[in-house]
């Protein structure tokens, strides 16, 4: 039978994936080290940045001596699976015993990259607290859920969180309008990659587009934001 050989990502593709996974400022030295230690493994590229807080990623402090690729990837998936399992147990558990499962789910998912599932866990936990007539505790969970869901653009779940929050006597925080609201989700994705320093060719490789298409999107982005250069784009807060 023919042998199937699987290879990792090229360096340019790895850098583009890392740029998409870490929208926060990323020091050049940190970026080089993560790309080198990941060795083209896309899962490692997604998990390794979580080994350091934002200040370390931005170059404010030295990184730990060893990022331990296999351990970080394994730990990330373990936390995701255990967090989702805990949330499922909470949903089918009656009475006060459900709370320990909700707390476990929040804790495990909060330490993973599953922001969407974390937000939904805060939401269902808050709904449960409201049914238990613990209005103040419910408001805290529902505010967290609402903020996360709004930032993600999950409008239906955000609206559900807002309704629940109002039912506790709370008020959802209004999101401040941003210049980037005029961009489409695809344009915002491209803009976020560009501000990390990725070239049009690297962005194209990451999104499976042609460099010409990326340049066309950039012209549209510049026009909508009333700017003329990539440097100006870096000065904007891309939310």
- Interval 173-186: pLDDT, tens: 776 667 777 777 77
Is there a domain that residue 3 lies in?
A: no
Closest-CA residue to 31 (of 59, 70, 73): 59
d(CA 175, CA 84): 28
State whether 188 and 154 are in the same domain.
no
Q: What percent of the chain has pLDDT over 90?
A: 28
d(CA 168, CA 52): 37
* pTM score above 0.85: no
Give residue 24's domain range. Answer: 11-67
State whether 77 and 157 are in the same domain.
yes
- Section 194-213 average pLDDT: 80
- pLDDT tens across 151-174, in order? 777 889 999 999 999 999 988 877
CA angle at residue 193 from 204 to 181, to 5 degrees? 115
- pLDDT tens across 220-230, in order? 999 988 888 88
Name the least confident of 56-60, 70-74, 189-193.
56-60
State whether 84 and 160 are in the same domain.
yes
Name the least confident of 141-150, 161-170, 184-193.
184-193
d(CA 191, CA 152): 16
State whether 17 and 53 are in the same domain.
yes
State whether 163 and 87 are in the same domain.
yes
Asked if 218 and 192 touch (Cβ cutoff 8 Å), the reply is no
State whether 160 and 96 are in the same domain.
yes
Can you say whether residue 50 is alpha, beta or left, with left for phi > 0 and alpha for psi between -120 and 50 degrees?
Answer: alpha
Report how many domains make up the chain.
Answer: 3
């Amino acid at each position: 039978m023919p042998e199937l050989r699987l290879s990792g990502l090229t360096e340019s593709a790895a850098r583009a994936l890392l740029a998409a996974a870490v929208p926060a400022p990323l020091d050049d030295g940190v970026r080089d080290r993560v790309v080198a230690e990941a060795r083209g493994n896309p899962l490692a590229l997604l998990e390794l940045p979580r080994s350091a807080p934002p200040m370390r990623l931005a170059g404010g402090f030295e990184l730990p001596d060893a990022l331990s690729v296999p351990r970080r990837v394994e730990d990330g998936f373990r936390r995701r699976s255990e967090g989702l399992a805990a949330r499922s147990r909470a949903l089918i558990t009656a009475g006060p015993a459900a709370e320990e499962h909700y707390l476990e789910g929040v804790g495990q998912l909060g330490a993973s990259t599953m922001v969407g599932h974390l937000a939904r866990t805060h939401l269902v936990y808050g709904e449960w607290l409201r049914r238990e007539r613990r209005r103040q505790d419910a408001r805290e969970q529902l505010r967290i859920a609402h903020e996360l869901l709004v930032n993600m653009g999950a409008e239906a779940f955000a609206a559900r969180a807002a309704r629940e929050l109002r039912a506790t006597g709370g008020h959802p925080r209004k999101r401040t309008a941003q210049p980037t609201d005029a961009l489409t989700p695809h344009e915002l994705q491209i803009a976020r990659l560009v501000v990390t320093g990725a070239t049009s060719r690297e962005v194209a490789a990451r999104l499976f587009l042609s460099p010409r298409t990326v340049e066309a999107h950039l012209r549209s982005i510049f026009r909508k934001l009333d700017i003329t250069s990539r440097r100006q784009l870096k000065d904007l807060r891309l939310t």
